[in-house]
A and B are shown apart, each in its own frame.
Chain A
Amino acid sequence: MNRTDALDMVRESISTVIPDADVVALGPDDAFRDVLEMDSLDFLSFVEVLSERSGVRIEDEDTPQLTTLSGSADFLIAHTE
């Protein structure tokens, strides 16, 4: 999976969980959990959607890597070689 697809997939997953979130304005390294005031329920749904879309199984231990757009994209690329 190339970088742009990964980034798009992460942005889409965020906007499905929080429809009115301003995802476009998110910088690649912003911690979107804080910026978008995502609580643990929102974050769990985000993980659910992302793993569904990417087909990658995301464990509890992996979640620390998913705090920023670029971090999440790297995670996806690493796990879809």
Chain B
Amino acid sequence: MGADGTAEAKTTYREAMREALREALRADDRVFLMGEDVGRYGGCFGVSLGLLEEFGPERVRDTPLSESAFVGAGIGAALAGMRPIVEIMTVNFSLLALDQILNNAATLLHMSGGQLPVPLVIRMTTGAGRQLAAQHSHSLEGWYAHIPGIRVLAPATLEDARHMLAPALADPDPVLIFEHGSLYNVSGELLPPTDPVGLDHAAIRRPGTDISLITYGGSLPKALAAVEELAAEGISAEVIDLRTLRPLDDAAIAASVARTHRAVVIDEAWRTGSLAAEVSARIAEESFYDLDAPVERVCSAEVPMPYARRLEEAALPQTADIVAAAHRAVG
């Protein structure tokens, strides 16, 4: 039983996102869900299970395997006043629709001199860790966070999975939501949010004074695990969950580094040109006089993701890597 007498509201990240979709479809008839196998199959990762039965084929639309066409159609429908949610099965297939996202969704408002906002939400699964090998294991959030004109979110907790969708739908501009594949089965208690969940700020998941562990999405659990190991050695580590990858919450990052004077950035993408590189550059620019050690980065090895389990684990950023980086920084 919950402390306040209600039944323990245990739920999973997947169920939280499904509930968000159901709430959105109920609240506004301009909202509809479109994507491969979102209807009869119930979603490749089961997120939209049961929605077809509840809302019908007009508002939960299975699409042919034509990413460019149905993402472009989502953009067109948004231009015409609808509030579509387009699901791209994984970020790996989003490359087929990158032209529509970059050259249409992100750019129409500007090219039209402000006449054509595109109120569209695109959700896609991301990340590696399930031995899906090179073509199914990419982490390309950084590519999208490079594009002016769109907002990029990375819900890592149950609360964010449940409550980010509504403000995203209310945003007049395109919003991309990245859901890390390893998070769907995470379960826990989902309490109603105290104040409304915003999209502009990072969150301090664990306060600390000696070092800042800055991360997002699927890497958050590994960072929290690292905190326990470091605490045992007397190092008080702070964990910053970025939540929004564009725009980055510069103030939160700078405030944390001003407290701890050391930073490790954890990002599952490849190091070169990664989001971690951008965060590290901003720390060097904004908090140079607060740095008592070079900024450390823990990213994937620069290799197409191998299939063999031990190789994949070696390629991906792990808790041990985070602890080692923290040691290098704390000295």
Direct contact of A and B (CB under 8 A): no
Question: Which residues from chain A sit less than 8 Å from chain B, CB to CB?
Answer: none
Question: Which residues from chain B sit less than 8 Å from chain A, CB to CB?
Answer: none
